[in-house]
Structure 1
Amino acid sequence: MASAAEQLAANMNFGAFQKATELHKRIWFTLIAMVVYRLGTYIPIPGISPAAFAEAFQGQAKGILGMFNMFSGGAVERMAIFSLNVMPYISASIIVQLLGTVYPPWEKLRKEGGEAGRKTLNQYTRYLTVILALFQSFGIAMGLQASEGLVDNPGLFFVVSTVVTLTGGTMFLMWLGEQITSRGVGNGISLIIFAGIVAVFPRYIGQAFSLARTGAMSGGALLVIALLIVAVTVAIVFMERSQRRILVQYPKRQVGNRMFGGDTSFLPLKINTAGVIPPIFASSLLLLPTTVMGFAVGGAGSNLPAWLQWLPGLTGQLQHGQPLFMLMYGALIVFFCFFYTSIVFNPEDTAENLRKYGGFMPGIRPGKRTAEYLDFVLTRLTVIGAAYITLVCLLPEALIGFYNAPFYMGGTSVLIVVSVTMDTVTQIQSHLLQHQYEGLIKKSKLRGTRGR
């Protein structure tokens, strides 16, 4: 027999959506926030020559800046105020979470601080975001100024204005993402990245057809890429919805004259517990040093000192489709799969919570043995999840290297788009379900009042 929640979910229709006025407000707020974000990607920073920068960007479009441009929704090629996007915030989150596992005071805040500890760590993340954004924007400003013809009036004023503008843009997007999370639908930071990727999809699709029309890419290759995108999308949906359900039983207990418990439930463990975080974290960590190196090499040209002559070669190897880039990218994805899974799911805490409420797994002793079993199962699932994410993200890199294609509309981008879409739809369904529950509660209260 279906549960009450399943019956409510089955009865959700367009009529239920029309009655959920609170959900309407959340959706409208999210859409308006996305429009504001997209408008910011078209406002260039002051002092830049747009034509000269667009010409200079074409030489870097297939490199690491091409992926950065995709995540920012085309803001990089226009050198807009949102060019840094939320990447400094993501990098700061990585650092804070890493320190939260090795630095005792922050580890205590994460484990025992509760809501107050979480807010404190979030505040540290914001402070670190400002520092990283200042560092990256200063590197960009110096790189732009060193390149001849890109800046109208180079000097201290241009550097200061660029640093303030880019850092302010990142902080605004961080604030906007938090507002979407609390007042809109879905995860704000993920939706900002999602909007940037979706915005450049039509252009990359047009480039693919243009390459096929001019003969630079065969029609068969284009068909293979299209079929791979469909196959990858289906695989992502299948893997993201897959889970391992562990049986948990609760013994009967007597409270007064009534008997409670004796229920059976399942503990669901997703194959991909980390979600889209590993490829985003890996991309941001690769973008941070290589972007600065690219601007430094481009600005210095052939005037690099002897002890830095290796920089151009290393920068070239850290481009899309290159073996070193694929190796580092894959290694970082695997690392963050295990690292982030260990953060979001703690087997010892879960085993302790089950023991407190009397839950146990058949054939496994509560406490330490339960934690060991959960860790064993989770490790095996993470191996499968890490392999799946790595393959999905490296497949387009191999295609880029093989076909020399100037677009990145597979792997990481499809993973982010599909995962964020599924998460947002799930949250919308949760709001609809909550609205129906509230309606049932109000009706039951009215009936109880009439009965009196």
Structure 2
Amino acid sequence: MALIDTVRASLRTPGLRRRILITIAMLLVFRVGAHIPVPGVRADVIEQLFRGGGGLLGLIDVISGGAFRTFSIFAMSVIPYINASIIMQLLTVVIPRLEELQKEGEEGRRKIQEYVRYGTVVLAVVQGFGTAVFVRNQGALVSGSWGWVALIVLSLTAGTAFLMWVGEQITEHGIGNGISLLIFASIVSRVPAALVGMAELVRTGALNVLQVLAVIVLAILIVAFTVVVTEGVRKVPVQYAKRVVGRRLYGGQSTHLPMKVNQAGVIPVIFAQSLLVFPVTVANFFSQTHPVVMFINRWLGFQSPIYLLLFGLLTFLFTFFYTEITFQPDQVADNIKKAGGFIPGLRPGRPTAEYLARVSSRITFVGALFLAAITLLPYGIIAITGVQQAYIGGTSLLIVVGVAIETMRQVEAHLVLRQYQGFMK
């Protein structure tokens, strides 16, 4: 009922209703563009590649919301933007100038965002060229000339740049994070096709009702578990000292510092997946009968035991690595000290920073185990139910749950803001 009441209140609030309508309109533009094909590509050959069971192609297709299967202008989706953002986050730690920019407030963040845009275009050109060469080698072009390759690179880069603009418009004028919502829409758009596919398998006898029920029950349990861990926080108590200003007494209140169990979000999974997919992607550019290519496809194939082991291990390690970069105990402890606060039983400064580092390490260990488990769950579902298609991808699930929760929070925040404005008027 609370969800329904929130939706009703959102639609009754003029400013919020406008934001929601802008978001829906932009997402519709995205879905329409996902069906505009790139010129010069043979759709029948691309469809044949997917029927060949390419796990890598399937992964890209999920993120693009089916745009890669139809080889539309949005085939690369916002993947170059995500990669550019991750690279920029890492560079802000390595390059002092970027770190200074990040601390300069809104103007500095705007400058960093500008660098991300340039990086997105560069990565889109590189990825577009790799994609064009791949489909050319597979005989999917009407002509093998480099002119057609250039046209495909231009079309894919323009599509990614346009989606980047759409995402920014949603973030600025709509509801939620635009790029995240585009990925969310891509993943959710595949659900009807997955349900139809499952129904067809039941009709033909390839699946029985018990297997379908098992998949549904496991899906519900996994979603519930994901929501619990995503929302899980360790509350570190913080006490603020009393201060006398003039004749008034300020402070003295108790609050807490929320430390999320999964502070890294889905980024470590993307790191791990990108690293493992890279050699397979490069191998696709060469003859499939070459010994090295055959070795890579055999041992790093999408469902090979080595791939699964490395995927889980890298996800676990990258969670610690990324949390170490994004959460800085010294800076948090310094901010608490400047605000006149302290953690009960600890001195401000270094002891507080060491305590926060210990707490962060412990909850990151739990978060890393969760991420590693959730990425391997689809393969567990295959083993338990016998269903040979993983309808619930771990990465996709994390994105969908995270974006849905964050968007609802923003809607509620806007409603609260409107109520306060109403009181002030």
1:365 aligned partner, one-letter code: R
Farther off after superposition, 419-428 or 404-413: 404-413
* Closer/same/farther in 2, CA of residues 24 and 340 from structure 1, 3 Å limit: farther
**1:34-433 matches, cutoff 5 A:** 34-61=27-54, 63-110=55-102, 112-148=103-139, 150-294=140-284, 296-297=285-286, 300-302=287-289, 304=290, 309-400=291-382, 403=386, 405-433=388-416
Three-state SS of the structure 2 residue aligned to 1:275 is coil
How far is the alpha carbon of 1:27 from its aligned partner? Answer: 0.5
Three-state SS of the structure 2 residue aligned to 1:266 is strand
Asked if residue 441 in structure 1 is aligned to residue 420 in structure 2, the reply is no
* Closer/same/farther in 2, CA of residues 316 and 87 from structure 1, 3 Å limit: farther
Asked if residue 22 in structure 1 is aligned to residue 6 in structure 2, the reply is no
How far is the alpha carbon of 1:172 from its aligned partner? Answer: 1.1
Structure 2 CA distance, aligned partners of 1:181 and 1:51?
37
Structure 1 CA distance, aligned partners of 2:7 and 2:296?
55
2:421 aligned partner, one-letter code: E
Instruction: Name the counterpart of 1:5.
Output: none
Farther off after superposition, 163-172 or 277-286: 277-286
* Closer/same/farther in 2, CA of residues 373 and 276 from structure 1, 3 Å limit: same
How far is the alpha carbon of 1:18 from its aligned partner? Answer: 4.5
* Closer/same/farther in 2, CA of residues 416 and 21 from structure 1, 3 Å limit: same
Three-state SS of the structure 2 residue aligned to 1:291 is helix
Structure 2 CA distance, aligned partners of 1:216 and 1:317?
28
Contact 2:73/2:159 (8 A) holds in 1:
yes
How far is the alpha carbon of 1:400 from its aligned partner? Answer: 4.2
How far is the alpha carbon of 1:414 from its aligned partner? Answer: 1.9
Structure 1 CA distance, aligned partners of 2:74 and 2:421?
40
How far is the alpha carbon of 1:286 from its aligned partner? Answer: 3.9
Q: Which runs of 4+ in 1 moved over 6 A?
A: none
How far is the alpha carbon of 1:335 from its aligned partner? Answer: 3.3
- What 5-or-longer segments of structure 2 have no aligned partner? none
Aligned residues: 422
Structure 2 CA distance, aligned partners of 1:15 and 1:228?
31
Farther off after superposition, 335-344 or 202-211: 335-344
Which protein has the larger Cα radius of gyration, Structure 1 or Structure 2? 1
* Closer/same/farther in 2, CA of residues 207 and 15 from structure 1, 3 Å limit: closer
| Structure 1 residues 354-403: Cα deviation after superposition (integer angstroms, max 9, x where no partner) | 11111011100001111111111111111111111211111103434774
| Structure 1 residues 84-128: Cα deviation after superposition (integer angstroms, max 9, x where no partner) | 111111112222222222233333333x33333322322222222
Compare relative contact order (CA 8 Å, sep 6+) and give the higher one, 1 or 2.
1
| Structure 1 residues 21-58: Cα deviation after superposition (integer angstroms, max 9, x where no partner) | 11111101110111011111111100011122212321
Structure 2 CA distance, aligned partners of 1:229 and 1:15?
28
Three-state SS of the structure 1 residue aligned to 2:249 is strand
Structure 2 CA distance, aligned partners of 1:283 and 1:365?
42
- What 5-or-longer segments of structure 1 have no aligned partner? 1-8, 443-452
Structure 2 CA distance, aligned partners of 1:355 and 1:423?
29
Farther off after superposition, 371-380 or 344-353: 344-353
Three-state SS of the structure 2 residue aligned to 1:409 is coil
| Structure 1 residues 113-172: Cα deviation after superposition (integer angstroms, max 9, x where no partner) | 333332232222222222221111111111222223x21122122011000001111111
TM-score where L is the length of structure 1: 0.87
| Structure 1 residues 184-240: Cα deviation after superposition (integer angstroms, max 9, x where no partner) | 111111111111110011112222233344343444333222211110011011112
Structure 2 CA distance, aligned partners of 1:37 and 1:118?
26
* Closer/same/farther in 2, CA of residues 264 and 390 from structure 1, 3 Å limit: same
Structure 1 CA distance, aligned partners of 2:356 and 2:26?
40
Contact 2:279/2:296 (8 A) holds in 1:
no
| Structure 1 residues 59-94: Cα deviation after superposition (integer angstroms, max 9, x where no partner) | 144x11111111110111111111111111111222
1:131 aligned partner, one-letter code: V
Structure 1 CA distance, aligned partners of 2:9 and 2:357?
41
